Amino acid sequence: MAQAPRDEWATVDGLSFHYRDWGGSGRPLMLLHGLASTCHIWDMVAPILAEDHAVIALDLRGHGESDKPNHGYDFASVSKDVLGVIEQLGGDAPVVVGHSWGGSVALELAVMAPESMKGMAWIDGGMIDTSARHATAEDAKFEMAPPDFTGVKVEGFLERVRTRHLGNGMAPEVAGIVLANFEILEDQTIKARLTRSNHLRIIEALWDHRPAELYGKVQCPVLIMPARQQDNSATQEPGQRRQRRLASVDEAEQMLPKSKTVWLEDSIHDVPIQRPELVADVLKGHLADGFFG
């Protein structure tokens, strides 16, 4: 049985960063969540990985239980945060696994500090090119702005989560993982841990992020793990979006010095909570066969 994680904190440039230490030994792994998420999205993947590896899941700036300043949401600052935590942990450089925006953070870190990691894995992320999808930064902020949860009661929210996620066959603990994205206020309403203003600051940073300009500078191996659903026409992505995703993966494959793509079939964007065993097994297999060196 996997051991319970320890909640730990590291201070980088005067800011406190929360992470979950899942224990384990062997090659270290650093897990990064996506936008408006927390380290808890890895709660079902991490214990499987910790059977063979030393696993850390970090709350990025503005998220979860880490500090939430109203500045520093550009990629240079967020990547520097991650680098500071890696340096404090010491030991061998980790393989950095990023979900969604977390993959973009990993990409920027790999270019900024190539010695900081042995490799990267992008879980349905790492290739986000906001400026290719939206005409202006303001359009991007309008389309990608967070929902307004003002007045939403925790029980009503949890019921929605259960209906949506359990209906897709997800485990019951998913409700608690999703709820970790929020604070519960005294009146039993919820409040997103990532403030709206900081959320929009990250979208501004994504607008200036050009992944294709970075791929050729990456020195480590990259495991690309995009998610898709194909069998059920009702859940398929619109054709234009699907083609754009295929083109993004092809571009990354062509420009990254060393990469491999494994499509996560029958999977949604939040695949770490939908199919944690699949995510963990793909990662463990490529770690074991020496893909990351």
- Contact assessment for residue 178 and residue 154, using Cβ atoms and an 8 Å cutoff: no
What's the pLDDT band for 128 if we cut at 50, 70, 90?
very high
pLDDT at 166: 73
In this prediction, residue 231 carries a pLDDT of 56
Q: Residue 98 corresponds to which tokens in the numbers above?
A: 């990023």
Q: Is 277 left (phi over 0), alpha (psi -120 to 50) or beta?
A: alpha
pLDDT at 60 over 50: yes
Q: What is the pTM of this model?
A: 0.96
Mean pLDDT of 194-222: 98
Q: Partners of 123 in the beta sheet?
A: 99, 225
pLDDT digits (tens, 9 = 90+) for 68-84: 999 999 999 999 999 99
Query: For residue range 5-39, what is the model confidence (pLDDT) as tens digits?
Result: 999 999 999 999 999 999 999 999 999 999 999 99
pLDDT for 69: 98
In the predicted model, is pLDDT for residue 234 greater than 50?
A: no
Asked if pLDDT for residue 272 goes beyond 50, the answer is: yes
Cβ atoms of 236 and 242 closer than 8 Å: yes
The DSSP element (H or E) to which 290 belongs, if any, is none
Q: What is the gyration radius of the CA atoms in the chain, in angstroms?
A: 18
Q: What is the structure's pLDDT at 165?
A: 79
Distance in angstroms (rounded) separating the CA atoms of residues 139 and 130: 10
Q: Does domain 6-142+194-288 have CATH number 1.20.1560.10?
A: no
Q: Give CA–CA dist 54/50, Å, rounded.
A: 6
C-alpha angle with apex 61: 80 to 278, nearest 5 degrees?
95
| Stretch 98-106: mean pLDDT | 98
Is residue 235's pLDDT more than 50?
A: no
Q: List C-alpha distances in Å: 214 to 105, 106, 255.
A: 12, 11, 9
Q: Where are the domains of the chain?
A: 6-142+194-288, 147-193
Whole-number pLDDT of residue 230: 77
pLDDT > 70: what percent of the chain? 97
Q: Are 229 and 267 in contact (CB under 8 A)?
A: yes
Q: Give dist(CA 287, CA 218) in Å, integer.
A: 19
255 confidence band (pLDDT: 50, 70, 90): very high
Asked whether residue 173 carries a pLDDT value surpassing 50, the answer given is yes
Q: Is a pLDDT exceeding 90 seen at residue 168?
A: no
DSSP readout, 106-167?
A: HHHHHHH-GGG-SEEEEES-S---HHHH-SSHHHHHHHHPPP--TT-BHHHHHHHHIIIIIT
Split at pLDDT 50, 70, 90, the class of 118 is very high
Q: According to the model, what pLDDT value does residue 95 have? A: 98
Q: Which of 74-78, 165-169, 180-184, 268-272 has the lowest mean pLDDT?
A: 165-169
Query: What's the pLDDT score for residue 1?
Result: 52
